[in-house]
Chain A
């Protein structure tokens, strides 16, 4: 694991985007993948006549769960405990990493197998494990590719979306010691499978994230495509699940909603190939020790914002990413966050607590609204993006913008002041007006005006004409 590439200080989005846009290969890969997944999603979502009702239910279940999260977390703890598991609490990334490292050390294992998990990426668990001398092996094929390449995943679901098979073949030839490999997908998958299978059978500890955790039963749910997650959660003696507290749902029945919403929204499948559900431990079968680590790491801060908390409903399907015109051009790396795309532009500042600058992630959107239309839990993403922008701006106290805007606000608030402003503008506008339109703006407004059309103040306004013709 390369600490350097995963924890390098992030470039500001505009600069990162400029670099990403210059990479034609990445753009071509992303465009292809986006087209394919987008079309698949649209077709399988179109099959369900109750899709909108499912979205309503999904949104409401999550809203309800977040509103009484304290109660549900306590219930989840009890349920897991009753089923023979242990629950641990972690306020931030460091605490979560310390808990997991401690648990692994207790088993004496020097190596763990990992299910693809965004949260463990977010908190940098692999680095923490490496620092403690524990090797973490990513078992999701695409995550494995990123790990071997010392790169960050560039997409929530398709982490190696930025790499094509020739690049992967070269990587495997070098890192898996298989100089004979061709760039055949089947052969590449087989090489990875051989590499991983040995590790599954050897590893004493598996680490997973969670898509959902059912408070009522203590059941954890992980959905996946490859079956590697099933291996990690069933073969090792000890299983450690690290989950964000917002993944808690109240009841078993709620899974009937989310297990329809998630696969169709995510990979465009009616059902994902593997859905693993486990409840504590079962004597004689599967892991005999189960630990659930509940992680805050910024969730409660996001929850405290009455508008922003809606983003915690996110089930990480990436449907918003697949329709985003900005993501299409810049790819995932430009976001410099585990969570890319429209929802990432909200979650990243929320969870990290970094407000950022104007031009930071919440501004990386054209607000076209496609993301909100596809969100399976009806997060109003454009609205939340604007909300995050407001928070950035408020923190900036951008006087250059607010002072003139306040002045304009005052002028527009009274007819008398408005007309006075018009007369003033008419006297001054001569230099910058041509053919009845403002063509250039002076000084700092130049950039603002380049993309905007503003009609000039006419020689005689309607009000002036009215007074002249009809008298005051």
Chain B
């Protein structure tokens, strides 16, 4: 095996004997280099653009944060993140990317398994799928430190009476689906001993504090 090594290296040397390395022009790197900045350059660039960066993060947050998994296109989200990071010279740790890729791979399965998204992973803010009124209708569950657990009903109900009568608006996207969702959310409310706020109900609305006041 060693003979092969020596012979191949000798062949290469003989074959390139006519080339004078010093005469070769240096490799031109006039292409656009993405990344490749020194840390100091990155920090300088970042400090100049920090306001833009904040705006971009806010945009991304609005686009994705708190959305149920089934409404998120994970590959598009990853692309957005990478593009944003590249723009500001931010390094994304390999492990983070691997998680992103794994999520992408699992996206289909994840959506089947759990369309309800626990935003912070601690059960304090959970987006729950409750289709029927619209195909993608959701309710929001929040666990407030003082007031306790609350479910914001959205368009699950429009009047408190509907909880007893089971009636739905005539323009419901899919009334059967609404009935299933209502049953599911009622069970969830009971299980979590939560209040159900029907924001469409004028009496409920009147009792809620108005901004800048808030409920803790």
Give which listed residue, A63, A73, A256, contacts B33 with CB less than 8 A.
Answer: A256
Nearest Cβ in chain A — how far from B177, in angstroms?
29
Q: Which residues of B contact A90 (CB under 8 A)?
A: 4
A98 → chain B, closest Cβ, in Å? 10
Q: What residues on B are CB-neighbors of A300 within 8 Å?
A: 8, 11-12, 14-15
With an 8 A cutoff between CB atoms, is A70 at the interface? yes
Interface residues of chain A: helix, strand, loop or mixed (majority): helix
* A54-B31 contact in complex given A66-B16, A88-B1, C-beta closer than 8 Å: yes
Inter-chain contact A61/B27, CB cutoff 8 Å: yes
- Is B9 close to A, CB under 8 A? yes
Question: Number of contact residues on B: which range applies?
Answer: 20 to 34
The answer for the CA separation of A95 and B2 in the assembled complex, in Å, is 13
A50 within 8 A of B: yes
Among the listed A53, A61, A67, A260, which residue makes an inter-chain contact with B21, where contact means beta carbons less than 8 Å apart? Answer: A67
Beta-carbon contact of B30 and A294 below 8 Å: no
Please determine whether B27 and A70 come into contact, CB atoms closer than 8 angstroms. Answer: no
Residues of B within 8 A of A203 (CB): none
Do the beta carbons of B4 and A63 come within 8 Å of each other?
no
> Can you name the residue of chain B whose Cβ is closest to the Cβ of A305?
B15
Complex contacts, B5 vs chain A, CB 8 Å: 89
Give A255 Cβ to nearest chain B Cβ, in Å.
12
The distance in angstroms between the C-alpha atoms of A91 and B1, with both chains bound, is 10
B12 near A70 with CB under 8 A, answer yes
**Residue interface bits B28-60, CB-to-A below 8 A is 1, else 0:** 111111001000000000000000000000000
Cβ B12 vs Cβ A89 within 8 A: no
Q: State whether the Cβ of B7 lies closer than 8 Å to any Cβ in chain A.
A: yes
Write out the residue numbers on chain A whose beta carbons fall within 8 Å of the beta carbon of B27.
57, 60-61, 64
In the bound complex, CA of A70 to CA of B12 (Å) = 6
Q: Is B145 an interface residue (CB 8 A)?
A: no
Across the interface, do B28 and A73 meet the contact criterion of CB distance under 8 Å?
A: no
A-B pairs with beta carbons under 8 Å apart, 23 shown = A49-B32, A50-B31, A53-B28, A53-B29, A53-B30, A53-B32, A57-B27, A57-B28, A57-B31, A60-B25, A63-B24, A67-B21, A67-B24, A74-B9, A88-B1, A91-B7, A91-B8, A245-B8, A257-B31, A294-B8, A300-B15, A306-B18, A309-B15
Interface residues, chain B, CB within 8 Å of chain A?
1, 4-5, 7-9, 11-16, 18-19, 21, 24-33, 36
